[in-house]
C-alpha cells in the first residue's frame, strides 16, 4: 500500500464554511494531484503540482485553491463550501513515471 | 480533446473464467496507457502500464494489450476470483505528467 494519506476521510459541513482537505505523502514524490470523482464517473483533475512552490489548475474548473510549501504536503482549500462541492476528493502522487499512487479519498458532503 | 470510452454496463462472470474489459480512446495515441483497480469508497490502485511500442504486458493473472491502430486496449483477468470484483479504470497519458481517466467498468465475479 502506498504511503499517501488524506484527512478527513469523511466530512459533512454547512454551506459557506471554509474547509481544508489534507494530503501528505512520505515517498518524496515531486508530482502531486487532486482529483474530483462523483459516483460511477471518471476522475477529473482539479489541481496539480510539479514540486515545491509549483501549482497549476487542472482541466475541471474548481473554486478550490492549493498550496505546495513542502514536498510531502499538498492541501486543498475551499473558501466557501456549497452543495455543488459535494463529491469525493482524491489526492495522488507520481514518482516521475506514469504510475500514480492514490490516497484513500475524502468524501465531502455540503448541506 | 481526448476521450476514453469504457463499457458502462457491469460485467458479470463466473469464477474461474477470463474477464475481458475494453478501453477505447478517440484522438491521439498516448505514450502509455494504464489500468487501475478501484474498490467502493477507495482510491484507485495501479495495476499495469503499457507503452505505445508494446503490444502486450503481463503480470501474474493480468494481461493488457494495446492496439494503437484500433485505438483500443484490452484488459484480461484469467482464472477470475470473487476477490477480483471491483471497478477497473483505464487511464491515458495526457502530456506533462498528467493522466486522464475513464469512468471504469464494474466487474462482478460470482462464486
Which residues on A lie below 8 Å from B45 (Cβ)?
Answer: 102
- Give the per-residue pLDDT at B2: 78
Which residues on B lie below 8 Å from A96 (Cβ)?
Answer: 97
The 10 Å Cβ neighbour count of residue B57 is 16
Q: Do the chains contact at A102 and B98, CB–CB below 8 Å?
A: no
- Give the per-residue pLDDT at B29: 78
Whether the link from the prior residue into A70 is cis, omega within 30° of 0, is no
- Give the per-residue pLDDT at B88: 98
pLDDT by residue (tens digit) across A24-35? 999 999 999 999
User: What does the alpha-carbon distance between residue A77 and residue A8 come to, in Å, rounded to a whole number?
Assistant: 13
pLDDT by residue (tens digit) across A74-88? 999 999 999 999 999
pLDDT at position B99 over 60: yes
Closest CA to B43 of A10, A4, A29, A66: A4
- Give the per-residue pLDDT at B16: 97
Which residues on A lie below 8 Å from B93 (Cβ)?
Answer: 98
pLDDT at position A16 over 90: yes
Query: Is the CB of residue A5 less than 8 Å away from at least one CB of chain B?
Result: no
Q: Do the chains contact at B99 and A100, CB–CB below 8 Å?
A: yes
pLDDT by residue (tens digit) across B39-83? 999 999 999 999 989 999 999 999 999 999 999 999 999 999 999
Q: Do the chains contact at A98 and B99, CB–CB below 8 Å?
A: yes
> What is the nearest CA distance from A72 to chain B, expressed in angstroms?
18
Q: Which residue of B has its CA nearest to A102?
A: B43
Q: What percent of chain A has pLDDT over 70?
A: 98
Query: Is the CB of residue A96 less than 8 Å away from at least one CB of chain B?
Result: yes
Which residues on A lie below 8 Å from B42 (Cβ)?
Answer: 104-105
Per the listing, cell 476521510 goes with A9
User: What does the alpha-carbon distance between residue A35 and residue A102 come to, in Å, rounded to a whole number?
Assistant: 10
Q: Which residue has the higher pLDDT, A61 or A10?
A: A10
User: What separation, in Å, do the N-terminal and C-terminal C-alpha atoms of chain B show?
Assistant: 41
- Give the per-residue pLDDT at A2: 59
pLDDT by residue (tens digit) across B5-51? 998 889 999 999 999 999 999 887 788 999 999 999 999 999 999 99
pLDDT by residue (tens digit) across B79-97? 999 999 999 999 998 887 7
Residues 6+ apart with CB under 8 A from B51: B31, B32, B66
pLDDT at position A1 over 60: no
Query: Is the CB of residue A11 less than 8 Å away from at least one CB of chain B?
Result: no
Amino acid at each position: 500500500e502506498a504511503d499517501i494519506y488524506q484527512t478527513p476521510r469523511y466530512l459533512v459541513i454547512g454551506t459557506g464554511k471554509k474547509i481544508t482537505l489534507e494530503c501528505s505523502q512520505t515517498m518524496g514524490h515531486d508530482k502531486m494531484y487532486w482529483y474530483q470523482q462523483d459516483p460511477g464517473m471518471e476522475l477529473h483533475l482539479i489541481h496539480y503540482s510539479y514540486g515545491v512552490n509549483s501549482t497549476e489548475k487542472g482541466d475541471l474548473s474548481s473554486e478550490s485553491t492549493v498550496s505546495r510549501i513542502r514536498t510531502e504536503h499538498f492541501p486543498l482549500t475551499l473558501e466557501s463550501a456549497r452543495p455543488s462541492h459535494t463529491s469525493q476528493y482524491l489526492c495522488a502522487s507520481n514518482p516521475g513515471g506514469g504510475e500514480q499512487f492514490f490516497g484513500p479519498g475524502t468524501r465531502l458532503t455540503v448541506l | 480533446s481526448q476521450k476514453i470510452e469504457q463499457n458502462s454496463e457491469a460485467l458479470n462472470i463466473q469464477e474461474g473464467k477470463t474477464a475481458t474489459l475494453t478501453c477505447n480512446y478517440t484522438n491521439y495515441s498516448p505514450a502509455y496507457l494504464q489500468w487501475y483497480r478501484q474498490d467502493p469508497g477507495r482510491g484507485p490502485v495501479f495495476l499495469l502500464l503499457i507503452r505505445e511500442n508494446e503490444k502486450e504486458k503481463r503480470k501474474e493473472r493480468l494481461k493488457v494489450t494495446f492496439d494503437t491502430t484500433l485505438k483500443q486496449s484490452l484488459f484480461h483477468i484469467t482464472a477470475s476470483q470473487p476477490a477480483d470484483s471491483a471497478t477497473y479504470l483505464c487511464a491515458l497519458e495526457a502530456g506533462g505528467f498528467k493522466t486522464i481517466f475513464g469512468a471504469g467498468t464494474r466487474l462482478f465475479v460470482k462464486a
